[in-house]
Chain A
Amino acid sequence: MKDRLNSIKAAAESELKDADSLSALETLRVKFLGKKGELTAVMKGMGGLSKEERPVIGQLANQVRGYIESALEEKKAALTEKAKELKLKAETVDVALPGKVPASGGKHPLNTVLDDLQDIFIGMGFSIVEGPEVELDYYNFEALNLPPDHPARDTQDTFYISDNVLLRTQTSPVQVRVMEKQKPPIRIISPGRVYRSDAVDATHSPVFHQVEGLVIDKGITMADLKGTLEVFVKKLYGDDTRLRFRPHHFPFTEPSAEVDISCFNCKGKGCNICKGEGWIEILGCGMVHPKVLRNCGIDPDEYSGFAFGMGLERVTMFRYGIKDLRLFYENDLQFLKQFKV
């Protein structure tokens, strides 16, 4: 009997080794440990053993059972682990296959850049003010120190609705409307559509956008104008951007300046974006003309202020490397899709 038990153990050992599935394992369990199994058969034959033999064989039989049981468990754990691995392997995907992107649209690139500009100025305490696009001649020209027959009116090719109503050529009339209504301190930017009867080409459009700013308070200086614009330009184009203020002329500011920034592309060395100059003209600005303040009921002896303005299309074209302004108003989805942010 002892031999038989040992041979059962040996058989179990070798058959378990070869078992390669959970079902094969169950068959082995039944074969060795089941009610009609080999070990059970041996146990049933114990009755015929002598008193002395019985505990010895009994112990051996239990050892063999114990051995087979734990070997079965071990094997089962190993096979389960293997099955999990196989499952994972079978579930492998090719991560290079295309992803499923949720449908989403995008803002117009001009508004994306406008949002950036607005954020910068809001951070400096500015509010955003809008005004009418169909405007009175008075607000667009006269109040801004451009009386009838002023030569500068010729350079702003104006669309007229009637003798005294026009499509605003600049967003500056908003400044006048604000100054008429609000007492200083004033700190606003006025973005919006403006109109000039320019024939359409890569850099001209009869409709375009300006962003203007106005600050009025006691003791505002031209140095403050430089400081404010420096913060703005560095936030927009990076801290290493340099500014250059050149004297210029606008009827509604005095002194007036044009602002160049060091070319963001070549950092001032000269490239085709800056036409080899190293500088790019980006802004017009100046100290609000005393006549304009007076026209708006603000005493220029008590208050001073500055104003600045820029073309949104120009800033956006530089930002994204767009060479043709017409694209903004054509709205080809293939164009718009490139500026999702």
Chain B
Amino acid sequence: MNLPLSWLKDYMNTDGISEKEYADRLTMSGSIVEGIENLGKEFKNVVVGRITKIEKHPDADKLVICQVDVGGEEIQIVTGAPNVFEGAVVPVAKHKSTLPGGVKITKGKLRGVMSYGMMCSTDELGISKERATGILILPDDTPIGEDITHTLGLDESVAEFEITSNRPDCMSIIGLARETAATFDRDFKIPEIKPTGNDEDVNDYAAVEITDSNLCSRFTARAVKNVKIGPSPKWMQNRLTACGLRAINNVVDITNYIMLEYGQPMHAYDLDHVEGRKIIVRAAGEGEMLETLDDKPRSLKSEMIAISDEKRAIGVAGVMGGANSEVTDDTVTVLFESACFNPVLVRRGAKALGMRTDASALFEKAINRACELLEEMGGGEVIGGEVIGGVIDVYPVPKRNTVLPFEPEKINKFLGTDIPESDMVDYLSRLEFKVEDGKVIVPTFRGDIESMADISEEVARLYGYDNLPVTMMQGRVVVGGKTFKQKMIDSIRNTLTAYGLYETMTYSFIDPKEYAQTRVPMDDAIRIINPLGEENSVMRTSMLSSIIKTLKINYNRRAEFAKIFELGMIYKPVGETLPDERQIIAIGMYGRTDFFELKGIVQGLLTRLGVSGAAFETETENKSYHPGRCAKVTAGGKTLGYLGQLHPAVADNFKLDTEVYAAELDLCTVLELATFDRTYKPMPKFPASGRDIALVVDKNVSVGEIEKIIHSASTEILESVKLFDVYEGEQVGENKKSVAYSLTFRAADRTLTDDEVSGLTEKILAALKSGINAELR
């Protein structure tokens, strides 16, 4: 919302308020001033001139030489504009002048003839964005030599406001003036609207019918006859320009002017083109056609509100009027409309037609102000018209003021303040709230005020948010802190970063084609109805593609190696309204790494989290991974996830020409087995003794099997089993391998004897022999 600051003077005294102070204080009372622009500040040396003589250019068909009176002197200007004529009053940028956008004009020769400046079009003056075809021709009575910024009403500072959605009343000059006066504690007065109208009765001219009060709670209308359409007066045009609107004609300008002044949308109909001179507010028919003011055919929907006459639709309520009842240069009788339509339906209608609207509630004032303005214009002039007496006012749902209890104590308790009751009354009355008999009567234009909390805000913002005290919460002690899960997540992050991995974050939605690329079944992954694009349209059910894409970015940027992890959410549909959101510990690596580093990272992590008994089983079914280099991670009878080298086909799908490793562990399952508990075990008092054994076994025997047998054949004196060598080659024979272990034995209560240790070792070897035919090498 733009507010030309001089407009405020219609309602209040603004003496002594600087622009900076204005912006600061309005912002701090809740009407955010985004900036104050002086529209004319970019102009220099541009004035009004009159063309006195036009001659042909001797050397150019399309150029003419004009002599232009710019007030006290006559200068020569060469132009190619097609619309110049002798006597035309035009804007002239003189030698050494500046136009908006920093354009500088100086004298120069055009095809050999001196030109001492330029006559300007609307786009050159910055008042229109469209490219104009000719020079702007000003009204004949414009004073010659006048500074153009004054002529165009651009010698004006305009404040640009950001108005929040709860304050539609501030989308108007009067609303902002009221806020200004309240903020600066100055008197605020809306000038009385002079009564208008002849002794005829508007009801003899037109009728209004509302078919359903849910569509329209009030419709007011007045008629004007013998209207002469013409330009509106300069002061009005200037104000419209300053607010960013284009002047069109007196009637249309009045509706726009009132929209600015009161925030009340208005419409004007050519009453002679309203069939039966009757306005009917009704639901639009589905597919009903209407050509709107912008000359576009529109197909209406049944949820829109149609304004129609006895035969056809003539407008979409609150959105746009129809071309068939538009006010044109030939219009003689005008019907002004000021109405309140169901805002939800208006908004839906506007949305369906791709337009924006504003809404308000000051019907009768607006309609009378429109008539007043039109009658004023008519006083002795050729334009204007004769206002018909009386007002049509169809008001099926009378609006009442909201009345709330006035509770100064509660307000002070709520805000933490000690504001005297009389000050509160003062603040509220500045905003046109009435306080009487312990009650607050809320003005009808403040539909946002519904409770004590709302009243508190009004009090607080005029008291000044910055003046509110700063205190610390009292009351019951609340113990904060992190949960087990949050602490575990911290531990995971700390562990993995200590292992050299970097944490990443990726979008939660992926491209459905990534499922095929990662060879993960897509099943019924959740789709977004209105995604930004196909590549962001499915909520991921696997972290794999997110991790691979991150590796790929670094691979493409020539990172020699990368080790990353992400604690990412996946979204698994489980047949209920909301999916199961599960966090996955996902790890990705390429370059300078192998399967066993990845496995080591996972083992180390699980140990740190207190997960005991983790096992790694050969996994050949997971299609995303290399069938010979993938392990399923289990513990406590639960599957924690998978790790391994990505299947080369998957790496290939992402154009990664290297071995890529990944792990996916389900956080929730890991945490079921994780613990921060640790129990102290006394340091051993007796020495350990060791035995190294090298076994020859069949090549396909896994070390897991060997270790299982070692453990089951041993007693509690076996302290540890450490694999230290695996060898395959000629010396052990075809399809065989040698596996070497270092076994450590220790008893808590005595020094072990050699016999004891040897005996147990023999027993272990015997079990290995009978179990997997292992030979001692």
Q: A residues bordering B, Cβ < 8 Å?
A: 103-108, 110-111, 115, 118, 121-128, 132-136, 149, 151-152, 154-155, 159-162, 164-165, 167, 185, 187, 193, 195, 197, 199-200, 206-207, 215, 217-224, 226-228, 230-231, 244-249, 251, 254-257, 287, 289-291, 300, 304, 328-334, 336-337, 340
Q: Which residues of B contact A249 (CB under 8 A)?
A: 164-167
Q: Which residues of A contact B473 (CB under 8 A)?
A: 215, 217, 220, 224, 227-228
In the complex, B413 has a CB within 8 A of chain A: yes
Stretch at the interface among B434-442, B563-571, B742-750: B563-571
A227 engages B453 (CB within 8 Å): no
B503 engages A336 (CB within 8 Å): yes
A-B contact list, 16 entries, CB within 8 Å: A105-B503, A108-B502, A122-B482, A125-B480, A134-B578, A151-B347, A159-B530, A160-B528, A200-B532, A219-B413, A222-B456, A224-B474, A226-B469, A227-B473, A246-B28, A254-B457
Please judge, given known A-B contacts A167-B528, A249-B164, whether A107 and B503 are in contact too, CB under 8 Å.
yes
B167 engages A185 (CB within 8 Å): no
CA distance A331 to B483 in the complex (A): 28
Stretch at the interface among B458-466, B626-634, B662-670, B710-718: B458-466
B483 engages A160 (CB within 8 Å): no
Interface residues of B in 548-575 (CB under 8 A from A): 550, 553-554, 557, 559, 562-565, 569, 571
Residue of A nearest to B449 (CB): A254
Give, as a whole number of angstroms, the nearest-CB distance from B485 to chain A: 9
A149 engages B528 (CB within 8 Å): no
Residue of B nearest to A193 (CB): B508
Give, as a whole number of angstroms, the nearest-CB distance from A83 to chain B: 40
Please judge, given known A-B contacts A187-B478, A217-B476, A244-B466, whether A332 and B501 are in contact too, CB under 8 Å.
no
Please judge, given known A-B contacts A105-B499, A134-B581, A331-B505, whether A246 and B554 are in contact too, CB under 8 Å.
no
Give, as a whole number of angstroms, the nearest-CB distance from A142 to chain B: 15
Interface residues of B in 707-764 (CB under 8 A from A): none
Give, as a whole number of angstroms, the nearest-CB distance from A139 to chain B: 10
CA distance A162 to B573 in the complex (A): 13
Residue of A nearest to B28 (CB): A246
In the complex, B684 has a CB within 8 A of chain A: no
Contact pick for B480, options A106, A122, A159, CB 8 Å: A122
CA distance A107 to B416 in the complex (A): 41
B478 engages A185 (CB within 8 Å): yes
Residue of B nearest to A328 (CB): B505
Stretch at the interface among B48-56, B312-320, B490-498: B490-498
CA distance A200 to B563 in the complex (A): 27
CA distance A223 to B472 in the complex (A): 8
Contact pick for B453, options A217, A245, A254, A337, CB 8 Å: A254
B501 engages A331 (CB within 8 Å): no
CA distance A105 to B561 in the complex (A): 13
B506 engages A331 (CB within 8 Å): yes
Q: Which residues of B contact A104 (CB under 8 A)?
A: 497-500
Q: B residues bordering A, Cβ < 8 Å?
A: 27-30, 32, 164-167, 344, 347-348, 351, 413-417, 451-454, 456-457, 460-461, 465-466, 468-483, 486, 490, 493, 496-509, 526-532, 536, 539, 550, 553-554, 557, 559, 562-565, 569, 571, 577-579, 581
A247 engages B414 (CB within 8 Å): no
Q: Which residues of B contact A222 (CB under 8 A)?
A: 414-416, 456, 460, 468
B500 engages A136 (CB within 8 Å): no
CA distance A334 to B564 in the complex (A): 13
CA distance A122 to B415 in the complex (A): 25
CA distance A159 to B539 in the complex (A): 11
Please judge, given known A-B contacts A221-B414, A329-B505, whether A149 and B347 are in contact too, CB under 8 Å.
yes
Please judge, given known A-B contacts A159-B528, A185-B478, whether A193 and B553 are in contact too, CB under 8 Å.
no
Q: Which residues of B contact A254 (CB under 8 A)?
A: 451, 453-454, 456-457
Residue of B nearest to A206 (CB): B532
Q: Which residues of B contact A219 (CB under 8 A)?
A: 413, 474-475
Contact pick for B468, options A110, A149, A223, A289, CB 8 Å: A223
CA distance A255 to B478 in the complex (A): 25
CA distance A226 to B528 in the complex (A): 39
Residue of B nearest to A163 (CB): B529
A221 engages B164 (CB within 8 Å): no
Q: Which residues of A contact B486 (CB under 8 A)?
A: 128
Q: Which residues of A contact B554 (CB under 8 A)?
A: 331-333
